[in-house]
Chain A
Amino acid sequence: MFRAEKISRSFRSGTVETTALRDVSLKVNPGEFVSIMGPSGCGKSTLLNILGTLDRPTSGDFWIKDENVSRYSEAKLAEVRRRHIGFVFQSFNLIDQLTVRENVELALRYRKTGAQERRLKAGLAMERFGIAHRADHRPSQLSGGQQQRVAVARALVTEPDLILADEPTGNLDSHHGEDVMGALKSLNDEGATLVMVTHSPAHASYAGRTIRLFDGEIMTSQDNSVSQSPREEN
């Protein structure tokens, strides 16, 4: 359903060219939960950005359903993003001038959802992640774990086909980290498709499959269902 074929991405700054991804092919099926691991700077975020259509590959193709979006214009990509994608970031990326509710509603706003429906959906999403009582607070008044749950609520409120999470627990202590992982797992259990970057093997094991990136290339792809649960290892 989401299919990357031999995508490469290189950056040029001045005369220096960095290749962040090299001939990466990856397929994500509906309902799958994929985690991506690898050392810092190996291209995880770059890959996630391309999957999320925030960026385009330098070469190769990226298919969403039957659409090859790898050559789409910025405006068309925004369209694709609206229809298919939800994001959760490491640094939460909530907008400080907006309340929690407004942050959650923001994604719906760009989809021209009516005010009433917006309020209803955002309410349900906040309810679900236990932040409804904080709806009228500013993000800065919330703990890190709460902020990330707001971000998760914001990502799912539009019912995207693919939720991308870039180190969603990276800025959280272990307690809050578990909290957020629980939320993501429950989404996946309900059928949502997820791709998550993480440094934590424990959190990676929530996923059905773990891909290891090294220096822009996929080294291994491991099916977690056949291995021992890392949670039990801990």
Chain B
Amino acid sequence: MLSWLTVVWRHMLSDKLFTLITILSLSLGAMCAVLVGAYLQEELSYEAWLPDSKNIYRLETSVTQSGQNSRPTVSTFYGMKTEFDGVVSDQVSQTRVAYDFFSIGENDDRETYRIAFADPNFFDVFEFNFIEGDPDTALADPNSLVLTETVSKRFFGDRSPIGETLDVWTHSDGVVTAVIADLPRETHLEISVISHIDNSAIRDGLQVRNGWNGLSVRHYFRTQDGQPSQSFEQNIETYAQQFLDKNFDKSEGIKVEFELMPIRNVHFSAAKSGDLKTRGNPGQLKLFTGVSIVILLASGLNFSILSIVRAMSRTREVGLRKALGASRARLLKDYLAEAGVYIFLSLLVGFAAAELFHPVFETLVGHELSLSTLHSPVFLILVAFVGIALVGVIGILPALYLSGLKPSVALRSDQKIGGSTVGNSLLLTIQFSAAIALVTAILIMFAQIRLIDSKPLGFEAVDRLAIYGVQRGPTETIVRLETLRTLLNDEAGILGISGVNALPDWGRDASGLIYPEGRSAVESANAAYLYVDAEFLKTFEIPIIAGRDFDETYASDRALKGNNDLSQLSDQLPVIITRAALANFGISDIEDIVGQSAGMQIDGVDFDIQIIGVTDDLNYKSLHYKAEPMVFIPKPGSMSVFLVHFDGSRHTEVMDALNAAWSRTYPNQNLNIRYIDAELAEQYDEDRQLLRLATAFAVLAIFVAILGAFGLSAFTIERRKREIGIRKALGAKGGDIAGMLAWQFVKPIIVACLIAWPLSWWFMSGWLQQFAYKVSFSPRFFIISGGIGVILAVLATGSQILRRAKTSPSIELQS
């Protein structure tokens, strides 16, 4: 054994180039597989950390209004819980949670959180890790607050917060009853502060929103192990329908469907309205798994093909061993074992590289990734199996080839002159297909992101900043904005100030219904809405194309100041709509719409509106979506951020002025700003991250392909030495030789293009589906990627080609 290893070791040393190329590329493949494996493991382990998560379900609802697409949401109706009391026995527990943004804190020391308002038995279903407090009583009182460690630290440092008070906006005094550990990343839940579902901050709102579009709570069930899930599901269905029968007028043409979704499946099922986190992308995951397998195989192919190529110079050794009596089986075993040494050595190096490049990979995927699973014995056994499988797949070819040589042929001195083999072309074709497909994909992604960056949105985002944490009571917020405006009015560099309830990137799905005068909400269409103050359109430079902007010199436009309740309106509310909303009225001429009266419904409240102006369409949400019909509603009491339009060239002065004015308007509160253009760019973080990952994969694939091409050129061109000498003797110039050799390597790349292009076309058209505005496939992407492939192949093989082209034929012809 030891002596055999010594022999293998000598082989490795005697052919340093081969050893370097194969081990380097195999270990890259292994590294890639290990890292993607860890990523895969993480993505597939969503909710697994939560005790008994496989028995927890969420009741999800899909509402279809006549003539409209169904709207699947993760929520259901607030009032359903009582309906289920019949089914819910000792075997099943149910609990609800509703989310809303509120600022908590004391006086001006506040922070806005998405607060989870839950039923008191929430922790029976979700057994979180309690650091302080008792899960059974933590939500006993409507004013209870359960904080995560991070939030607790934010307000109380290392002190115990139990019994401390924090007020929730202006509604209630909250009392901290418990602290839980921060939730890990791998969950659909988003928890920072938990309070009681009957907390006065939310109670009234929840009970008002009891119409069919009042899908306001997430409803969870936890069953017991062994509970026959089918009958459970049937029961749930039955009671849900009973609830509908009691509460809905079916004649409205509304269809409601329920789905009981195991929470373990949430991460990989289709996104629904109300998602708090981006779900996993199974397509992307499959792609990465596929790509890393291809890279691993491509690197393995380097080993197989280069072994065979190199084997041709080992034929004499084989002939000798056979002549000395070694059987084919014996040789096969030896050469397989030799492959095994290379492969396991590479796996080892690959593992080390994975540990080393782990932080880089984390930046690429955009979040932390634990490698701890990689150290478990189970995983190591798995790796051993993969290694053995690899030996079987990539070691078998060269071993068969070598052991199959006939000794009479192997020992002949006059080996054939020259020639390329099918295997060589195959290696280049496969490896470069992967590389070229990835490069094409990257080019298209890059162009798409450029398109997004340069697409006019209908509003100006540059040199606008948003100030957070401004929300107080409705009147109070307006007063503070006025104060701020007065203070900043004459400051140089401040170009405009306004307020709004939601920023573009908030991805808020808040839409109301809008309908022509004389009809009702039943015959209505959806329109997104924003609560704005009179300066909003000016601040964002949204052009009015018909009618007029808000103007407080009109009595009607002033009316809403201080009145924050749409149900209390006495007059028509003046609103401005976007061009896309015109379709909701069946009016094609924009001038005709101005002055029209109409109805609107938001959160079940109907009110009358008058259309005073029309703007061009706005991509207020990300460009993944088409510009939707929008309504601007003058309701400054609901502002949650202030907007400042400033002169970018006077940034320092602006910030000084802003800070000064801020500390007088909101004393004791830090100024918390973000730049709108930066926020908008963040909407495409995921797309950029995919681009980064794809680039990393492409670099790896290219590197493996280059190693392969270089190895091939080094080993095959050497073998064609004599042929090249003959050609030179017959009058071939260096250029003729270089051209001939280069063509040998370029031909497979052209075939690779023909494989890679359709692949990337097919995949990228899928990826582009998610954008409402997409780049068109231009031949440019494909030509460039193909060109890059050809150039890389020529560069990788160039040194060997040039060396051969330049050598004197007298040396090449020496026998």
Contacts and interface: CB of A to CB of B under 8 A. Distances in A.
Interface in B703-732: 722-723, 725-732
B733 interface: yes
A55 B728 CA distance: 11
B726 to A, nearest CB: 5
Which range contains the number of B residues in contact with the other chain?
20 to 34
Contacts of B723: 95
A52 interface: yes
A93 B733 contact: no
Interface stretch (A75-83, A192-200, A209-217): A75-83
Interface string A137-152: 0001000000000000
Contact of A140 (B416, B727, B731, B733): B416
A106 B810 contact: no
Given A55-B810, A74-B806, A78-B734, A91 B728 contact: no
A110 B731 contact: yes
Interface string A92-128: 0111110000000011001100000000000000000
Contacts of B733: 75, 78-79, 110
A107 B730 contact: yes
Contacts of B725: 93
B164 interface: no
Contacts of B270: none
A89 interface: yes
B731 A95 contact: no
B386 interface: no
B418 A96 contact: yes
A54 B727 contact: no
Contacts of B329: none
B734 A75 contact: yes
B731 A78 contact: yes
A74 B802 CA distance: 13
Interface in A32-67: 49, 52, 54-56
Contact of A49 (B731, B735, B810): B810
B757 to A, nearest CB: 30
B434 to A, nearest CB: 29
A180 to B, nearest CB: 18
Interface core residue of B727, B728, B729, B813 (most chain A CB under 10 Å):
B729
A78 B737 CA distance: 12
Contacts of B722: 93
Contacts of A74: 734, 806, 808
B636 to A, nearest CB: 83
B731 A89 contact: no
B809 interface: yes
A87 B729 contact: yes
B553 interface: no
Given A54-B810, A55-B808, A55-B810, A154 B730 contact: yes
Given A93-B726, A97-B419, A140-B416, A54 B813 contact: yes
B815 A91 contact: yes
Given A54-B728, A110-B727, A93 B813 contact: yes
B417 interface: yes
Interface string B377-389: 0000000000000
Interface residues of A, number: 27
A52 B731 CA distance: 11
B414 interface: yes
A138 B439 CA distance: 42
B565 interface: no
Interface string B74-99: 00000000000000000000000000
Contact of B418 (A52, A55, A97): A97
A79 to B, nearest CB: 7
Contact of B729 (A52, A56, A97): A52
A47 to B, nearest CB: 11
Interface core residue of B417, B730, B733 (most chain A CB under 10 Å):
B730
B272 to A, nearest CB: 63
Contacts of A158: 731
Interface core residue of B418, B419, B810 (most chain A CB under 10 Å):
B810
Contacts of A85: 729
B100 interface: no
B736 interface: yes
Given A49-B810, A74-B808, A54 B734 contact: no
Nearest to A171: B414
Interface in B728-775: 728-736
Interface core residue of B725, B733, B734 (most chain A CB under 10 Å):
B733
Nearest to A160: B731
A52 B725 CA distance: 13
A194 to B, nearest CB: 16
A133 B809 CA distance: 31
Given A74-B806, A93-B813, A111 B418 contact: no
A74 B725 CA distance: 13
A114 to B, nearest CB: 16
Contacts of B806: 74
Nearest to A49: B810
Contacts of B808: 54-56, 74
Interface string B196-212: 00000000000000000
A56 B419 CA distance: 29
B417 A93 contact: yes
Given A74-B734, A74-B808, A93-B722, A81 B727 contact: no
Contacts of A93: 417, 722, 725-726, 729, 813
A213 B418 CA distance: 33
A85 B730 CA distance: 8
Given A54-B808, A55-B808, A55-B810, A96 B417 contact: yes
Nearest to B416: A96
B309 to A, nearest CB: 16
Nearest to A87: B729
Given A95-B417, A96-B418, A111 B731 contact: yes
Nearest to B806: A74
Nearest to B724: A95
A79 B725 CA distance: 15
B412 to A, nearest CB: 12
A79 B722 CA distance: 20
Contacts of A87: 729-730
Nearest to A155: B730
B419 to A, nearest CB: 5
Nearest to A107: B730
20 contacts: A49-B813, A52-B729, A54-B728, A54-B808, A54-B813, A55-B810, A74-B734, A78-B733, A79-B733, A82-B731, A89-B813, A91-B815, A94-B417, A94-B726, A96-B418, A107-B731, A110-B732, A110-B736, A111-B731, A140-B416
Given A81-B731, A154-B730, 6 more contacts: A54-B809, A55-B810, A82-B731, A85-B729, A95-B418, A110-B736
Interface of B: 414, 416-419, 722-723, 725-736, 806, 808-810, 813, 815
The 10 A-B pairs of least Cβ separation, nearest first, read: A82-B731, A55-B810, A110-B731, A54-B810, A107-B730, A78-B733, A49-B810, A97-B419, A54-B809, A93-B726
